[in-house]
Amino acid sequence: METIVLIIHVLLAAAVIGLILLQQGKGAEAGASFGAGASQTVFGSTGSGNFLSRMTAVVAAGIFATSFVLAVYAKNKADAVNDAGIPSAELIESAAEAPVVDTEQLPALEENQAPAAPAASESDIPKAD
């Protein structure tokens, strides 16, 4: 369902771009008022301004609606991610307040030296018969 809404959203965005590019600027009305044959057009003598303006408003409202639906989907996905094992903020803060290990209590090791293995007792050493 989310994919369908996303496709509709992209198509509406392309439609808004197309509708805006089809509209004439305010400067074009002066030339049309001196008799450019506007009464012979598809949209009549009033021109396409009202139709294109209304269609742009309808498509823009569709973009707002699909944006809202996509935001709801994104919120639901974010809630699902929190349920998937990512620790909450309270847990992270409590871990930050945990006591720190005192390094003075650890045995001192020289640089690049591995810790010594515990000494083996005589019972751990196999005997040849």
On the question of pLDDT at 87 being above 70, the answer is no
- State whether residue 72 is helix, strand or coil: helix
Phi, psi of 84 (to 5 degrees): -90, 15
Cα separation, 9 vs 62, in Å, equals 8
Tens digit of pLDDT for each residue in 3-26?
999 999 999 999 999 998 988 776
On the question of pLDDT at 60 being above 70, the answer is yes
What confidence tier does 45 reach under pLDDT thresholds 50, 70, 90?
Answer: low
Cα separation, 94 vs 7, in Å, equals 43
